[in-house]
Amino acid sequence: MVKIYLDVCALCRPYDDQSYMRIKLETIAVQLIFSAIDQNMYDLVYSSVHVKEISAISDQIERFELYHLLQETGKFINVDKVRARKRAEKLVSRGLGVADAAHLVFAEAVGADFITCDDKLCKKCRALDLAIWTGNPVAFCDKEGLR
């Protein structure tokens, strides 16, 4: 089964201002992805990076709902910390932020498609030597034929 790894900005998309068309489209795509997860079409995976980033969300309800969503729907993954740190350091040296690099390392470790709403991160990912698919929620739905 295909594993997918949504970063925190993708998970938070439904909580963003829906008056912007792009945000609304990405929200619908995230909802389609979760519907497909519920139908056992994909395995959602998450990591300690999610837990750390979500803990910093100031809105208590959003924070609780995201924790609950991951615990109920996703599978927590662990990786070899030494290997992950080396890979993350390499990605950081190539221009990624620490959290973005860590998310990518976890996704790579389990061979998961990496989904983000961050255009700059998507662009950087295309320039890297990654062994996984990366893109935004709409592109993922298009690639997978989710409607």
CA dist 147 and 137 (Å) reads: 12
DSSP string of 105-121?
A: HHHHHHT-EEE-S-HHH
Q: For residues 76 and 49, is the Cβ–Cβ distance under 8 A?
A: no
Total domains in the chain come to 1
CA dist 11 and 126 (Å) reads: 21
Q: The tokens of 122 are what?
A: 């998507």
Q: The tokens of 2 are what?
A: 């295909």
Encode the chain (147 residues) as per-residue pLDDT tens digits.
999 999 999 999 999 999 999 999 999 999 999 999 999 999 999 999 999 999 999 999 999 999 999 999 999 999 999 999 999 999 999 999 999 999 999 999 999 999 999 999 999 999 998 999 999 999 999 999 999
CATH number, domain at 20? 3.40.50.1010
Cα 82 to the center of its chain, rounded Å: 22
Q: What is the pTM of this model?
A: 0.96
Name the residue range of residue 8's domain: 2-144
pLDDT in the model for residue 129? 80
Q: Look up residue 102 and give its amino acid.
A: A
